[in-house]
Structure 1
């Protein structure tokens, strides 16, 4: 019974670590377009 609980906790921790790693990996692999155009560059851009 105790072994089963430890296994479930370990699986949950691995799942959380994998989710966080995937989040950061996707952030590095596919950066948001807002990163290329900071808010200050958009505000000071000349009107066209």
Structure 2
């Protein structure tokens, strides 16, 4: 019983971290794309 409880809390602690990391990655990709577009316009 106790083991199952520990497993559950461990997963709960891990899940928000994964989501945060995913959101951060998405944000970085978006910023990179914005920079690419800005740099592309300067070259024209």
TM-score by length of 2: 0.64
4+ residue runs over 3 A deviation: none
Q: Which has the larger share of helix?
A: 2
Count of aligned residue pairs for this structure pair:
33
Gap regions ≥5 residues in structure 2? 1-10
Question: Please, what is the CA RMSD of the aligned residues?
Answer: 1.6
TM-score by length of 1: 0.59
Aligned to 1:6: 16
Gap regions ≥5 residues in structure 1? 37-48
Aligned to 1:40: none
